[in-house]
């Protein structure tokens, strides 16, 4: 039943009738099969990749931070283990006939971790923080279709003009500029969580420290020491706490994949953040079902900095560099985990969309190289005058292998001399966002299952537009798609936009990803079916072993 309802909500563009979901029950939480023997000690140990810069739900922008905040906070709705949108902070909602107004009815028994009641005013404050230019969230674009959101974010309108209103303590109303088919998917993001104004104003920048922070999710912060671990414990004030089986979860910073793998093999970790490309096949043969590889709405690419030489106003150079990259070799010989070669920003598997591909992608590789050499020379480079370029990437074994393979292909085909520069995760994110690079490793995991989650990244003015790409035709098509209520027409417009984007070569796409983890057999509730790889500790349990 929730699946059918989800399709109605997230695919229909205008709800022609007011729809009530008051009869829906929460379709998530640890569901322990009858007869299952649980371990006496319900503590989960998770590898979490690089240290996250923040656990502020309005500001979190990385996978590592999201893994933690999905346990600490929740919004009006959330996605379950199968990726289906289900009620969370709200029990029911309805939409106006024109699809521009949504009214949400909140849970009457919902409380913050300190026992304070959660009200509609907390949601208003949370949304205001998301677009507040002083907060400077890079995820403010999520609600750009909310009334006055962009104007507020640009400092042109006050916060109280945002199209989010508390009709009373238990009723929240959201007003949109235009119908948004994926509105519930957006609202499932932790960036759309409520915020406790009184406590945040009391502690300021120290709010997210142990002892100060209050959360509204199934867990609360117990311990956090940079370089050691972050520990969450069960929030007994959570409205559905009776379904929380795991009492404590430790998130370990595991940037080195070999170290993380060893921690798993020596039973220090129950779930890893990733699996090394080099070790995947070996581990699969050794560990069998403990090696998880599943489809993932995620794309990998390299961003060209279009505001600086040598890529500013040099489309031919960008095209030449893209043409000589053999994506098949990368996925078959480098990554080797089931990834799909891609020539598009949008990942394989996005709903209602056909991936873009270049005509030259069908040519034999030798022919592609010959064409690329001509473009390379027309761009002002040659064997005697090779391009010298710096490639920026984060400190990670898999990222390093990709960067090395790209640099090698450029060198062999065109004679490009590439210098590799790696930075720690937090520094890397800042450098990339500030445009302090020539070519930068890039990756995006869809926030929700819609093309817009990818296409909006390179819209002019987007804070996630690392390439600094600007094309009014592209922006116009995206705006047109946002106003289109017919699915097929919208798909056609979005595919036109992708054609415009990709033929400008602001990025060099590599592949659509899979998600890979090592998961102990005694971890129950893990399905691997969520296309966004959202795995909340709340959905898991530890079996006797």
pLDDT digits (tens, 9 = 90+) for 370-382: 999 999 999 999 9
Over the stretch 487-506, which tens digit does the pLDDT of each residue have?
899 999 999 999 999 999 99
pLDDT tens digit sequence for 300-313: 999 999 999 999 99
**Considering the entire predicted model, what is its pTM?**
0.80
Q: pLDDT tens, 123-156?
A: 999 999 999 999 999 999 899 999 999 999 999 9
Please indicate, yes or no, whether residues 113 and 186 belong to a single structural domain of this protein: yes
What is the sign of the dihedral through the CA atoms of 4, 9, 11 and 14?
Answer: positive
CB 539, CB 28: distance < 8 Å: yes
Answer yes or no: are the C-beta atoms of 234 and 358 closer than 8 Å.
no
**322 and 391 assigned to the same domain:** yes
Confidence of residue 13 (pLDDT cuts 50, 70, 90): very low
- Give me the helix-helix angle, 472-483 and 487-503, nearest 10°: 170
Q: What is the pLDDT of residue 294?
A: 93
Structure tokens at 260: 């993380």
User: Which helix (H) or strand (E) covers residue 391, if one does?
Assistant: strand 388-394
Same domain, 486 and 534: no
Number of domains in the chain: 2
Share the mean pLDDT of the chain. Answer: 93
Centre a 10 Å sphere on the Cβ of residue 103 and count the other Cβ atoms it contains: 17
- 322 pLDDT higher than 60: yes
Is 286 inside any structural domain?
no
Cα separation, 57 vs 423, whole angstroms: 24
Q: Same structural domain for residues 509 and 525? A: no
Residue 382 lies in a domain: yes
Share of residues in the chain with pLDDT > 90 (%): 86
* pLDDT higher than 60, residue 2: no
Do 267 and 542 contact (CB within 8 A), yes or no?
no
Q: What pLDDT, on the 0 to 100 scale, is given for residue 15?
A: 35
The confidence score (pLDDT) of residue 10 equals 37
- Residues 87-131 have pLDDT tens digits of 999 999 999 999 999 999 999 999 999 999 999 999 999 999 999
Confidence of residue 277 (pLDDT cuts 50, 70, 90): confident
Whether the pLDDT of residue 24 is over 90: the answer is: no
What's the pLDDT tens digit per position in 392-425?
Answer: 999 988 899 999 999 999 999 999 999 999 999 8
CATH number, domain with residue 305: 3.10.105.10
Round to whole Å and give the CA distance between 229 and 234. 17
User: Is-contact 305 437, C-beta < 8 A?
Assistant: yes
Residue 252 within any structural domain of the chain: no
Q: Do residues 211 and 303 both lie within one domain? A: no
H helix intervals, 266-340: 280-287, 315-323, 327-329
pLDDT recorded at residue 28: 56
Is it the case that residue 349 has pLDDT exceeding 90?
Answer: no
Within-domain flag for 51: yes
Res. 276: pLDDT tops 50: yes
* pLDDT attached to residue 111: 98
pLDDT digits (tens, 9 = 90+) for 472-487: 999 999 999 988 878 8
Residue 281 lies in a domain: no
Parallel/antiparallel/unpaired status of strands 523-524 and 507-518? unpaired
Residues 79 and 197 in one domain: yes
* Domain assignment of residue 165, yes or no: yes
- How confident is residue 29, by pLDDT bands cut at 50, 70 and 90? confident
Are 481 and 530 members of one domain?
no
User: Residue 22 above 60 pLDDT?
Assistant: no
Whether residues 197 and 75 share a domain: the answer is yes
Element (H, E) at 303: strand 291-304
For residue 233, the model assigns a pLDDT of: 99
- pLDDT greater than 90 at residue 6: no
Q: Looking at the structure, tell me whether residues 499 and 440 fall in a common domain.
A: yes
Whether residue 349 is found in the same domain as residue 382: yes
Q: pLDDT for 174-232, tens place per residue?
A: 999 998 988 999 999 999 999 999 999 999 989 999 999 999 999 999 999 999 999 99
Q: Are residues 321 and 445 in the same domain?
A: yes
Q: How would DSSP label each residue in 2-20?
A: HHHHHHHHHH-SS-SS---
Residues 6+ apart with CB under 8 A from 519: 270, 271, 272, 290, 292, 526
Residue 447 domain-assigned (yes or no): yes
The predicted pLDDT at position 155 comes to 97
Residues 455 and 523 in one domain: no
Q: How confident is residue 23, by pLDDT bands cut at 50, 70 and 90?
A: very low
**290 found inside a domain:** no
> Is pLDDT of 535 > 90?
yes
Domain around 440: 298-514
Q: What is the three-class DSSP state of 473?
A: helix
Share of the chain above pLDDT 70, in %: 95
The CATH number given to whatever domain includes residue 533 is 3.90.76.10
Q: What is the DSSP letter of 538?
A: G
Name every residue whose Cβ is closer than 8 Å to that of residue 313 and which is 6 or more positions away in sequence. none
pLDDT of residue 357: 98
The H-assigned helical ranges of 36-131 are 63-72, 120-131
């Amino acid at each position: 039943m929730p699946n059918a309802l989800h399709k109605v909500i997230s695919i229909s563009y205008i709800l022609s009738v007011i729809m009530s979901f008051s009869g829906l029950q929460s379709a998530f939480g640890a569901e322990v099969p009858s007869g299952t023997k649980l371990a006496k000690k319900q503590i989960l140990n998770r590898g979490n990749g690089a240290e996250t810069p923040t656990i502020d739900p309005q500001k979190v922008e990385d996978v590592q931070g999201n893994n933690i905040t999905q346990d600490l906070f929740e919004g009006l709705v959330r996605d379950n283990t199968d990726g289906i949108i289900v009620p969370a902070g709200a029990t029911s909602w309805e939409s106006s006939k024109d699809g521009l107004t949504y009214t949400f009815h909140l849970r009457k028994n919902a409380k913050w971790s300190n026992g304070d009641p959660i009200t509609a005013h907390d949601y208003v404050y949370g949304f205001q923080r998301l677009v507040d230019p002083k907060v400077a969230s890079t995820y403010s674009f999520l609600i750009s279709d909310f009334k006055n959101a962009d104007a507020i974010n640009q400092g042109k309108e006050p916060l109280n003009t945002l199209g989010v209103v508390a009709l009373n303590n238990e009723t929240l109303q959201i007003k949109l500029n235009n119908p948004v088919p994926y509105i519930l998917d957006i609202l499932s993001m932790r960036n759309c969580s409520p915020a406790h104004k009184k406590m945040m104003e009391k502690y300021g920048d120290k709010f997210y420290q142990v002892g100060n922070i209050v959360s509204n999710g199934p867990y609360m912060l117990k311990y956090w020491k940079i370089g050691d671990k972050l520990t969450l414990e069960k929030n007994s004030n959570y409205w559905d706490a009776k379904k929380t089986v795991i009492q404590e979860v430790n998130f370990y910073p595991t940037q080195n994949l070999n170290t993380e793998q060893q921690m798993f093999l020596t039973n220090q970790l129950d779930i890893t953040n990733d699996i090394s490309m080099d070790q995947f096949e070996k581990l699969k043969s050794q560990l069998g079902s403990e090696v998880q590889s599943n489809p993932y709405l995620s794309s990998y690419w390299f961003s060209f900095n279009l505001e600086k030489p040598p890529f500013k106003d040099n489309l031919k150079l960008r095209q030449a560099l893209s043409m000589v990259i053999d994506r098949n070799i990368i996925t078959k010989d480098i990554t080797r985990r089931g990834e799909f070669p891609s020539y598009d920003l949008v990942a394989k598997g996005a709903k209602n969309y056909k991936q873009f591909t270049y005509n030259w992608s069908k040519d034999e590789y030798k022919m592609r190289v010959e064409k690329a050499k001509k473009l390379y020379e027309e761009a002002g480079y040659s064997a005697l005058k090779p391009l010298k370029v710096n490639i920026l990437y984060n400190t990670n074994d898999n990222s390093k292998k990709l960067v090395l393979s790209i640099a090698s292909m450029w060198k062999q085909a065109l004679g490009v001399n590439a210098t590799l520069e790696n930075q720690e995760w937090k520094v890397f994110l800042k450098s990339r966002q500030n445009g302090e690079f020539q070519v930068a490793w890039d990756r995006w995991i869809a926030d929700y299952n819609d093309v817009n989650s990818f296409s909006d990244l390179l819209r002019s003015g987007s804070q996630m537009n690392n390439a600094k790409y600007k094309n009014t035709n592209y922006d116009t098509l995206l705006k047109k798609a946002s106003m289109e209520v017919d699915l097929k027409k919208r798909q056609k417009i979005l595919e036109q936009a992708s054609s415009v984007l990709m033929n400008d070569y602001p990025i060099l796409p590599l592949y659509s990803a899979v998600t890979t983890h090592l998961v102990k057999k005694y971890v129950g509730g893990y399905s691997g079916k969520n296309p966004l790889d959202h795995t909340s500790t709340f959905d898991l349990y530890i079996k006797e072993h």
